[in-house]
Structure 1
């Protein structure tokens, strides 16, 4: 109602990022109705509560399926639709940075690499899930936060996709970043979180509305509108 009062009439469309057919239906709708996409914000994600009794390897698999692979599928289908000067924002988390610092030096080096490929990243994300099933994830250098590892995946995927855009669509001035909205009062984070949803939206909206002539940020991890060292 508030948007309509401002002369805006948002249209909604079903999307389940765990369902490839659902993503492709949205893709076809966007192409047919609008010929492409100006702004994509990948916000869908899940987390188990700390006290959840679900076995860790199942938490790892389920969280990875949505947070990393679902987000990746959306990018695979929708990034080709992004118009020149478009903006892409992947909602990651400060937990990705925290989890990165808890990884072994070998894993940290891989995740910080400027040349890591999407295939290599997918291999690492699958390895984490496999290692949890075997009960060897800590021995293999992984942190004990499944959510954190999935968000490492989102941040690194953002770096890879930004690099690809710079190579393949150099003149199009598309900017793609990952960000942390902060600790936001949602059903997922709970009522004691420090930010309202409106406050949580500040950094994602800033990145979605970067001026058309902006050169950056691009391929960065952003918190409180500031680029963080990855």
Structure 2
């Protein structure tokens, strides 16, 4: 089982706090905007590039909002630990974590194996590293939102029956999920992706990883009696007009933020959704 370790006992703070990972533009920026309007506490916008992150904060301040900034490069373990140490020292914990950082390489001319390595590193492995670092800071009633995509369902539909069974196994462990992601990476390097039962899509498969990761994390928190009512969900924001979609998306960034915000602001002790994948505020299952 995915294990969560908490140091220092129950986390307490007079002021709640939120961290949105990958939020200087696009959907993440809109999520910060929505949380600043709806959440009674400190909302942190994070970005790899400090200049771009601080500019995003200033843009939101011009709207009458008051986000805060902290630098974070999710591909840099030191940067992740710096954020963790800051949150621990400044607040003693965290109440809402939104993991939005991601890259899309499928339409680049790079070799497929390279696309897979780069895409899974950021979208799956680095996001998992952020979770492993920051989850111990989560207080009771915290909410975690991992931004995935409905493209995960498209990829699932192209997988072999054997791989589908592993992905949708209700008892899948984090170690088993990691092994699946490594198998996909290895198949890409040996140019045997389709022969091994995978679709030839890097981004789509990375979002399968995020979706299943969220399910596993949600189950682990459901069994953590020391910190009740911590809920993890993944979601699809929809086809949004952002850099990632080459601005072909039909939704505005604020429309794309609707479902992530819904999950980030779930009320205390809600029955559902928990450990689910949500699109348009509706739970979706593997098909």
Q: TM-score, normalised by structure 1?
A: 0.95
Question: 1:173·1:215 contact (CA, 8 Å) conserved in 2?
Answer: no
Q: Which residue is 1:193 aligned to? A: 249
Q: Cα distance, 1:213 vs. partner?
A: 3.2
Say which SS state the counterpart of residue 12 (structure 1) adopts: strand
- Seen in structure 2, the aligned counterparts of structure 1 residues 214 and 194 have a Cα distance that, compared at 3 Å, is same
Q: Which residue is 1:166 aligned to? A: 222
Q: Cα distance, 1:49 vs. partner?
A: 4.9
* Alignment partner of 1:39 is 2:96: yes
* More helix, by proportion: 1
Q: Which residue is 1:177 aligned to? A: 233
Once superposed, what is the RMSD of the aligned Cα atoms? 1.5
Question: 2:139·2:227 contact (CA, 8 Å) conserved in 1?
Answer: no
Q: Which residue is 1:100 aligned to? A: 156
Q: Cα distance, 1:203 vs. partner?
A: 0.2
- Seen in structure 2, the aligned counterparts of structure 1 residues 101 and 126 have a Cα distance that, compared at 3 Å, is same
**CA offsets 1:21-56 (integer angstroms, 9 cap, x no match):** 111100010111111111000000000152x21000
Q: Which residue is 2:171 aligned to? A: 115
Q: Cα distance, 1:158 vs. partner?
A: 0.4
Q: Which runs of 5+ in 1 are unaligned?
A: none
| Candidates 212, 225, 232, aligned match of 1:156 | 212
Q: Cα distance, 1:8 vs. partner?
A: 4.5
| Distance in 1, Cα, partners of 2:109 & 2:63 | 46
| Distance in 2, Cα, partners of 1:39 & 1:228 | 22
| Distance in 2, Cα, partners of 1:111 & 1:90 | 17
Following TM superposition, the consecutive aligned residue runs of length 4 or more in structure 1 with deviations greater than 6 angstroms are none
Aligned residues: 229
Question: 1:27·1:77 contact (CA, 8 Å) conserved in 2?
Answer: yes
1:1-230 aligned at under 5 Å gives the runs: 4=61, 8-50=65-107, 52-169=108-225, 172-230=228-286
Q: Cα distance, 1:168 vs. partner?
A: 2.1
Question: Which segment drifts farther, 191-200 or 168-177?
Answer: 168-177
| Distance in 1, Cα, partners of 2:220 & 2:98 | 18
**CA offsets 1:41-96 (integer angstroms, 9 cap, x no match):** 0000000152x210000000000000000110001001111111110000000011
Q: Cα distance, 1:169 vs. partner?
A: 3.6
- Seen in structure 2, the aligned counterparts of structure 1 residues 133 and 49 have a Cα distance that, compared at 3 Å, is closer
| Distance in 2, Cα, partners of 1:66 & 1:169 | 31
